[in-house]
């Protein structure tokens, strides 16, 4: 997740049981331009390994060069993001917009696989409308949307490009893993995940199949695995504010039960996260930590005052004092 899965949060997730860590996604253009901020953003520690760098873009030749850079930095794998629905990404033809052109997806994946020796994986969505909508075109008159075919008002004739179309187009390539967000582009991050689509692509994925989207509890994870035949699950928003979710899922899959951390345990995880943010990014890390603090407070009764204080905190000591000196009911 852009702006979320930084070094500090990745370490917390690893400590809480995550098996494979993904960096924030990086633009291939930024890497090729030698952007120091991008290199720092994706840099990792040995503790986090295995670490996969997620890249986005839409030009195969640029992916070749960017993948070589990532490999030279010592990462364990590269994930190509064909699933992000963010406007700033798709307006330039990246992310899920690539799914509208399965031939381009294949060209990018093949180029990446041939460029490096480390594993290549991809992230896709359940589907995207094959043609651009008028609403998308109106988003930005200077964007890549302007050259795309326009869907008629009723949506007839556009159809969908599905995850099945994508995996069939690359099934002969040595793709190590496919992660599918089981919602359409149009659903973004809301609505019921299409687990039938995950199940449908299973026979065409020779590598690891990971299901993603709508997994916020251990029960969600088990149901997803049981109904789809996926090899594992990818947790993103489900771990934001609940990084212990990885451990809970593992416990539930192994024993059929799990135990939520109590407030004291959560408090120590939050404070460790804040210390790591301070260590890795200095005072700015604590400012960025505010978004995490807000998510950590979800699900608590009468926590609005504490949340307001936490997102205004300017030092580690202030965060510590707020967490230790306030009492409220734990509903989670």
The answer to whether the annotation marks 54 as part of a ligand binding site is yes
CA separation for the pair 238, 227 (Å, rounded):
19
Does residue 234 have a known ligand-binding role?
A: no
Is 84 assigned a catalytic role? yes
> CA 155, CA 206: separation in Å to the nearest integer?
34
Is 135 known as a binding-site position?
A: no
212 is in an annotated binding site: yes
* Residues in a beta bridge with 128: 161
Whether residue 257 is annotated as binding a ligand: the answer is: no
Is residue 191 annotated as involved in ligand binding? no
The answer on whether 214 is annotated among ligand-binding residues is: yes
Residue 118, CB half-sphere, CA atoms under 13 Å: how many?
A: 20
Q: Which residue in the list 67, 84, 98, 113 is annotated as catalytic?
A: 84
* Residue stretches of the annotated binding site for FMN: 54, 123, 181, 212-214, 236-237
* Residue stretches of the annotated binding site: 54, 123, 181, 212-214, 236-237
Tell me which residues are annotated as active site. 84
């Amino acid at each position: 997740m852009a702006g979320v899965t930084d070094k500090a949060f990745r370490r917390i997730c690893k400590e809480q049981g995550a098996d494979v860590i993904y960096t924030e996604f990086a633009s291939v253009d930024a890497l090729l331009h030698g952007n120091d901020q991008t290199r720092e953003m994706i840099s990792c520690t040995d503790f986090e390994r295995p670490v996969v760098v997620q890249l986005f873009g839409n030009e195969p030749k640029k992916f070749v060069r960017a993948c070589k850079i990532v490999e030279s930095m010592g990462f364990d794998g590269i994930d190509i993001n064909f699933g992000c629905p963010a406007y700033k990404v798709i307006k330039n033809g990246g992310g899920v917009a690539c799914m509208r052109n399965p031939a381009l997806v294949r060209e990018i994946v093949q180029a990446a696989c041939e460029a490096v020796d480390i594993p290549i994986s991809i992230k896709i969505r359940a589907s995207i409308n094959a043609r651009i909508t008028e609403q998308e075109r109106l988003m930005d008159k200077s964007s890549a949307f302007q050259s795309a075919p326009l869907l008629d008002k009723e949506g007839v004739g556009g159809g969908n490009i599905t995850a099945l179309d994508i995996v069939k187009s690359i099934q002969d390539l040595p793709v190590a893993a496919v992660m599918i967000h089981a919602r359409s582009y149009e659903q973004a991050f809301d609505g019921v995940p299409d687990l039938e689509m995950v199940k449908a692509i299973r026979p065409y994925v020779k590598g690891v199949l990971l299901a993603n989207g709508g997994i916020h509890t251990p029960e969600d994870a088990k149901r997803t695995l049981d109904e789809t035949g996926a090899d594992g699950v990818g947790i993103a928003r489900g771990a934001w504010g609940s990084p212990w979710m990885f451990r809970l899922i593992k416990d539930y899959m192994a024993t059929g039960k799990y135990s939520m951390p109590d407030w004291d345990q959560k408090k120590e995880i939050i404070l460790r996260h804040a210390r790591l943010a301070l260590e890795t990014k200095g005072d700015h890390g604590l400012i960025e930590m505010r978004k995490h603090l807000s998510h950590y407070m979800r699900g608590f009764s009468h926590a609005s005052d504490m949340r307001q204080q936490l997102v205004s905190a300017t030092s580690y000591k202030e965060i510590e004092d707020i967490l230790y000196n306030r009492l409220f009911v734990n509903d989670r």
